Amino acid sequence: MKQFPGPTCCSMAVVELARRHCWKNFYFEPLDTNKRILRHQTNYRGVDYLGETWPPKDWYPVPPQVGRSTEEWILAYLSDDVEESSAARSAIMCLGKEAIPGLAMELDHPDLNHRMKAAQIIESLNLYERDPVDDSTAERVREVYLESPELFGKAPEKGRGSILDPVLPE
């Protein structure tokens, strides 16, 4: 188990001691927790060591993408509903390169804002996954960016492995 805020580790005996004596303000998570899920999961509060049920039913956070298909998450991300779009972004980031083919199809949508959102998350996935984007998709993202760079939001710094590097100003 890991204690917050740093990489301090402890044995299960410490977790059970904290439970037995009702120690508060501890945060435990299994060391083998998928960090991608943690990074995008906003409601995970660690192992419920003070809960009624012991051992807890859920040691690990529920991945945010559970419950919908990749296509449904993409449509939710591209919607105008800010809350739904935000939740969908987390799910798509956890899906990783699995979501790129569906997002790449959205780069041809007639609405520029729609294309821009798809291009932004493909760029984020590219940086996060370390080059999962094929050359034709990368070129299409660059084209969308060049259509209206001010809509794209903050572009990454040149030289950080961005698919936008060839079109970013020096």
pLDDT score of 168 more than 90: no
Query: Which residues lie closer than 8 Å to 142 by C-beta, 6 or more apart?
Result: 163, 164, 166, 167
Q: How confident is the model at residue 2 (pLDDT cuts 50, 70, 90)?
A: low
The answer to whether 123 and 156 have CB atoms below 8 angstroms apart is yes
pLDDT of residue 22: 92
Quick one: pLDDT at residue 148? 80
Q: Work out the average pLDDT over 135-140.
A: 91
Q: pLDDT of 46-87, one tens digit each?
A: 888 898 888 887 777 767 677 889 999 999 999 989 888 888
Residue 100 pLDDT exceeds 90: yes
pTM for this prediction: 0.69
- pLDDT at position 106 is 94
pLDDT for position 105: 94
Using 50, 70 and 90 to split pLDDT, how confident is the model at 38?
low
Three-class SS of 4-15: CCCCEECCHHHH
Give the chain's mean pLDDT. 81
Q: Judge whether 46 and 28 are in contact, CB under 8 Å.
A: yes
